[in-house]
Structure 1
Amino acid sequence: MEYIKLLLADDEPIILRGLKKLMSWEQLGIRIVAEANDGTELRDLIARHNPQIIISDISMPGGSGIDVITELNEQGYSGKVIFISAFQEFGYARQAIQLGALDYLVKPINKVQLERVVGKAVSMIRETSDGERNKKMLNYYEEKNRANTIEQLLDGLLDGDTNTLADLTQLGVIVVSRFTTVCVLEMDDYADTSRWEDRERHLVNFAVSNIIRETLDQEPMMGKGLLVQKEGLFTILVQHEEKDYPLQLAQDLRHKIQQYLKISVSCGVGTSMEGIEKAEETYREALKALNRKFFMGTNQVIRCGEADTEANKENRPITVLQSHLVKALTAMEREKIEPLIKELLEQIRIQAGNNKNLALTGVYNAVLTLIQELEKFGGELEGYQGGLLERWNDCLSYADVAQEVEAMLTEMQQKLASKVSGKERALLTKVKSYIEENYDSNITLESMAALVYMNSYYFSSFFKKHTGQNFKNYVTEVRMSHALKLLMETELMVYEIADRVGYNNVRHFSDMFKKRYGKVPQDYRQSFRQFET
């Protein structure tokens, strides 16, 4: 329960002691906060404690009751004053009541009279307090309903519903301005659910919203900004005169949020449009700009339409880069591995058009192909394939994905190197290179054994020891791998593909392909293209 504060004042200590004992103050919801012995002390204690009820002798050294109540009226005091007076001071007390005192009591104080007057004061204070509280509550809900209405209308406007403009104008949030621009802001680790509990995340969102609103309120001359949380993003509709203001605003917000909350944020800024009706267009551009943070890096402001530099680059096909990378990995040419990985991933990004999902799928397919090729040189590497897409999708940037891919391929290369060394590695590389270059010819165990000056039996054992595969199965896998590429990347007929990978019998080729990939070539091609569309 919230207690009412009471201040007692009298220059006679016995009167003060009697007042304190005369009633059970706390049962009435009253707490005595101070006692004054003269007018000067009474003024100081009123200023310090701001009591809601004052019971005071009307005539004390240091100032009369008339002086005190006059000063309280000038200060706008809203509490209740009850004076105590001697019988001969009755006219004096009546004057005080005319000036605003609630009542007066004649000494000696009668308990019943005191209870009546104090009860009246308490009722009046409670009634006023409840009224003010209800008024504040009503104002709060009215403002909250207004804010919710504005957010709903803004949400519709950003989705292209220009019918909301009339209501937004009536609510006074649309102003006449030269430009309209939308900025979208996102916490960089928003997807990391392990960092915050739900309550902490709510508090962080609240803090970010406050920083944005305070910043917008501080610069009313630069433009009017309206904040709405849309699809998990802090979305700001800016109405402004200076074309570069939204970019400056976004940079300022990023800096403040990092400085005060110690969290990293990225912001996409749409193109400045002439007319509030273009809000949806600039909003879509802002989203497009923000989505590029996966490739450009986090903790920065990205403006829509920033020029790309890849248009002037010399592009090499992804299949060619994969082939060079396999050779570098198997030949242990470490100085070539990192540049080739970077170039491969850059080409995948360019071909994906800076689309995160397409880029990650492209990287995944490229890595699977590399693993299949590397398995031919050193046994089983299946353990590297599990959960790759899920793990990369959680990365904050494409650079983080590239770092993981490089670390994984380097580890696989080291694993291969530990299996084969010295002269044996050179012989195995020679055999595999020959198969890779002549898979469309008649390759036999005997011809390969002769190539490295071994008898057939020893070569068969040597090959299986270092690759974990039967020689004939290995040759079949190489041919099937090339057949799959031709099937997916060309319009060649099945019999033409069979001939190009060393099969003169189409039926036999189709059977081997189905055994490897689960479907005959034509069915596999059709199902793949259906998936693409």
Structure 2
Amino acid sequence: MENIKLLLADDEPVILRGLKKLISWEELGFAIVGEANDGRELRDLIRVHEPQLIISDISMPDGNGIDIIAELNEQGYDAKVIFISAFQEFGYARQALQLGALDYLVKPINKNQLEKVAGKAASIIREESDGERNKEMLSYYEKKNRSATIEQLLNGLLDGDRKTLTELSQMGVLAISRFTTVCVLEIDENINSSQWEERERNLVNFALSNIIREALEQERSTGNGLLVQKEAGFAILIQHEEKEYPLQLANDLHRKINDYLKLSVSCGIGQSMPDIEEAAESYRSALKALNRKYFEGLNQVILYEDQRTRNNPGNTSIAELQADLVKALTARQKELLQPLTRQLLEQIRIQAGDNRNLAVTGVYNSILTINREFEKIWGGMESIRTDQGALLEKLAACPSYADVAHTFEKIVSEMLQHPVSKLSGKERALLSRTKAYIEDHYASNITLESMAALVYMNPYYFSSFFKKHTGQNFKNYVTEVRMRHALKLLLESDLMVYEIADRVGYNHVRHFSDMFKKRFGKVPQEYRQSIRRHQS
């Protein structure tokens, strides 16, 4: 414990010097913080130093002991007071004791008496200080345990455990309201990534929770708000009367976090439910709203909307839009490319139903389809044909659908700049027929000889012709087609690896895995897991 602050007061300087030197105050645990020569100076020093013990003459100019102790009592100040009195003032000192003075000493001061009364004062002050500290600690832990219990119960409620409602009600944290709405707030930057130190993550979460709790406390008259941290975000359960209130609160929180913490955050607002028992449903809809930040853009407040009423697929299918885009590319109709590209991307998004994985896969498949069709006429983009795995990983790593769209638009622009093919009409038709056959029969045992016979060519000449106009040999081309379809099955289905191998023309799963690893750098199952980690 720190030294006890001691203030000495007497109108006789010789008494003051004697008090200071008579005993070793430091050894007893005291630190003398001031000396007063009269009542007025004593009052001033008390205000400045807030001493824990005052040893004062009971009768001084500008204020006697009775006045001083009465003032301390009136102000609720709990400093201990020991008075020094002359023999003839003994009755006066007695009166001071009745008002709360700790003890008194009769002049002349005896060293042993002073040590004894100072030791008594030190024991009482330390005991009271320890008791107060213990009381504060007990209160702190009681509040902390209560907060932890409330958070645990709220977690259960949002996960669908309605039994927690009874305990939450008994704890007095719930209100009676027309609506219950859950909002989920999440930092757009991934604070769980390796670039964030644990201390930084904790500080950010602490700062966020403080801003949210402060806002909820300020809004107590408008709605009852409870905060709980779930996974990487914060869930706020709001009980309110006005249906628009959650949006107002979320916008206010969003602005404060942007302004004070300079953090990009997204907030999903769930459905407003008429009964708190349906809080879990509101929470699930808030998560769905939050997931739309991939499509809507980061650092926004997003309201839940029923997909059945929000999505309007339109009349043009994805396949039709892909075909129209190929036609525009073939005819070099630059003015049609942008509107067709945007229409196709929007259609893919709608069909994906706000599912990030499906949207990425849809865009990836569209790029391959367009390139394959474009390839029949102009030769296609070799970089897409030969590095499909890198393309998918690039799309999956995009932080938003806008970035995916930008990548798609860039590829279409590159296709427009692709050099015109020098194939004759007859050669183009032959090459187109060959590729179409491979596309339809890749699961069969296609060989160079069987394909050459199909187009009435010598195998040697056919091999030379195919490589000249595609830039790769026939066997590698067939393998790439198979790998492309294998990749599609791997990412869009839950088929086992051996089932995928069989569907793309491989009799031995080990051979298929080796070929897949050679093409994409990882065995099928490992590749599937790495892509899903990117997309989660």
Normalising by structure 2, we get a TM-score of 0.77
Q: Aligned partners of 1:357, 1:480: CA distance in 2, in Å?
A: 22
Q: Deviations over 1:166-207 (max 9, x none)?
A: 211111122221111111111111356255311111111111
Q: Higher mean Cα deviation, 340-349 or 7-16?
A: 340-349
Q: CA deviation at 1:464?
A: 5.1
Q: Aligned partners of 1:85, 1:406: CA distance in 2, in Å?
A: 96
Task: Determine helix, strand or coil for the equivalent of 1:168.
Answer: helix
Decide whether aligned partners of structure 1 residues 436 and 218 sit closer, same or farther in structure 2, where only a CA change above 3 A counts: farther
Indicate conservation of the 8 Å contact 1:226/1:237, yes or no.
yes
Whether 1:287 aligns to 2:287 is: yes
Q: CA deviation at 1:39?
A: 0.9
Whether 1:401 aligns to 2:396 is: no
Q: CA deviation at 1:21?
A: 2.6
Q: Aligned partners of 1:123, 1:479: CA distance in 2, in Å?
A: 88
Whether 1:46 aligns to 2:49 is: no
Indicate conservation of the 8 Å contact 1:59/1:85, yes or no.
yes
* Structure 2 match to 1:317: 318
Q: Aligned partners of 1:430, 1:192: CA distance in 2, in Å?
A: 57
Q: CA deviation at 1:413?
A: 4.6
Indicate conservation of the 8 Å contact 2:5/2:32, yes or no.
yes
Decide whether aligned partners of structure 1 residues 150 and 391 sit closer, same or farther in structure 2, where only a CA change above 3 A counts: farther
Aligned partner letter, 1:266:
S
Q: Aligned partners of 2:329, 2:199: CA distance in 1, in Å?
A: 49
Q: CA deviation at 1:312?
A: 5.9
Indicate conservation of the 8 Å contact 1:153/1:164, yes or no.
yes
Indicate conservation of the 8 Å contact 1:330/1:429, yes or no.
no
Indicate conservation of the 8 Å contact 2:187/2:266, yes or no.
yes
Q: Deviations over 1:266-285 (max 9, x none)?
A: 11112211122111221211
* Structure 1 match to 2:227: 227
Q: State the identity %.
A: 60
Decide whether aligned partners of structure 1 residues 370 and 75 sit closer, same or farther in structure 2, where only a CA change above 3 A counts: same
Indicate conservation of the 8 Å contact 2:212/2:253, yes or no.
yes
Q: Aligned partners of 2:79, 2:129: CA distance in 1, in Å?
A: 11
* Structure 2 match to 1:239: 239
Q: Deviations over 1:486-522 (max 9, x none)?
A: x99xxxxxxxxxxxxxxxxxxxxx999659x988xxx
* Structure 2 match to 1:146: 146
* Structure 1 match to 2:516: none
Q: CA deviation at 1:127?
A: 0.9
Decide whether aligned partners of structure 1 residues 131 and 241 sit closer, same or farther in structure 2, where only a CA change above 3 A counts: same
Q: Aligned partners of 1:310, 1:147: CA distance in 2, in Å?
A: 41
Q: Aligned partners of 1:483, 1:23: CA distance in 2, in Å?
A: 94
Q: Aligned partners of 2:72, 2:347: CA distance in 1, in Å?
A: 80
Q: Aligned partners of 1:482, 1:94: CA distance in 2, in Å?
A: 101
Q: Aligned partners of 1:107, 1:512: CA distance in 2, in Å?
A: 109
Aligned partner letter, 1:316:
S
Decide whether aligned partners of structure 1 residues 226 and 483 sit closer, same or farther in structure 2, where only a CA change above 3 A counts: closer
Q: Aligned partners of 1:479, 1:384: CA distance in 2, in Å?
A: 12
| Structure 1 portions without partners, runs of 5+ | 450-455, 489-509, 520-526
Q: Aligned partners of 2:331, 2:506: CA distance in 1, in Å?
A: 32
Q: Higher mean Cα deviation, 356-365 or 164-173?
A: 356-365
Q: CA deviation at 1:224?
A: 0.9
Indicate conservation of the 8 Å contact 1:58/1:93, yes or no.
yes
* Structure 1 match to 2:5: 5
Indicate conservation of the 8 Å contact 2:372/2:380, yes or no.
no
Q: Deviations over 1:378-401 (max 9, x none)?
A: 655577545555554454321122
* Structure 2 match to 1:128: 128
Decide whether aligned partners of structure 1 residues 312 and 378 sit closer, same or farther in structure 2, where only a CA change above 3 A counts: closer
State the superposition RMSD in angstroms.
4.1
* Structure 2 match to 1:71: 71
* Structure 2 match to 1:342: 342
* Structure 1 match to 2:190: 190
Normalising by structure 1, we get a TM-score of 0.77
Decide whether aligned partners of structure 1 residues 156 and 475 sit closer, same or farther in structure 2, where only a CA change above 3 A counts: closer
Indicate conservation of the 8 Å contact 1:271/1:286, yes or no.
yes
Q: Aligned partners of 2:141, 2:11: CA distance in 1, in Å?
A: 49
Decide whether aligned partners of structure 1 residues 514 and 152 sit closer, same or farther in structure 2, where only a CA change above 3 A counts: closer
Q: Aligned partners of 1:334, 1:484: CA distance in 2, in Å?
A: 34
Aligned partner letter, 1:311:
N
Q: CA deviation at 1:326?
A: 5.6
Q: CA deviation at 1:40?
A: 0.5
Q: Aligned partners of 2:105, 2:481: CA distance in 1, in Å?
A: 113
Q: Which of the numbers 415, 422, 438 marks the counterpart of 1:427?
A: 422
Q: Counterparts in 2 of 1:501-512, with a 5 A limit? A: none
Task: Determine helix, strand or coil for the equivalent of 2:312.
Answer: helix
Decide whether aligned partners of structure 1 residues 511 and 342 sit closer, same or farther in structure 2, where only a CA change above 3 A counts: closer
Q: Deviations over 1:82-127 (max 9, x none)?
A: 1122333323222222221111122332222111111111111111
Indicate conservation of the 8 Å contact 1:297/1:397, yes or no.
yes
Task: Determine helix, strand or coil for the equivalent of 2:31.
Answer: strand
| Structure 2 portions without partners, runs of 5+ | 438-449, 491-501, 513-523, 529-536
Q: CA deviation at 1:43?
A: 0.3
Aligned partner letter, 1:7:
L
Indicate conservation of the 8 Å contact 1:435/1:443, yes or no.
no
Decide whether aligned partners of structure 1 residues 404 and 482 sit closer, same or farther in structure 2, where only a CA change above 3 A counts: closer
Q: CA deviation at 1:480?
A: 8.0
Q: Aligned partners of 2:138, 2:347: CA distance in 1, in Å?
A: 60
Indicate conservation of the 8 Å contact 1:183/1:269, yes or no.
yes
Q: CA deviation at 1:138?
A: 1.4
Q: Higher mean Cα deviation, 17-26 or 123-132?
A: 17-26
Q: Aligned partners of 2:44, 2:291: CA distance in 1, in Å?
A: 63
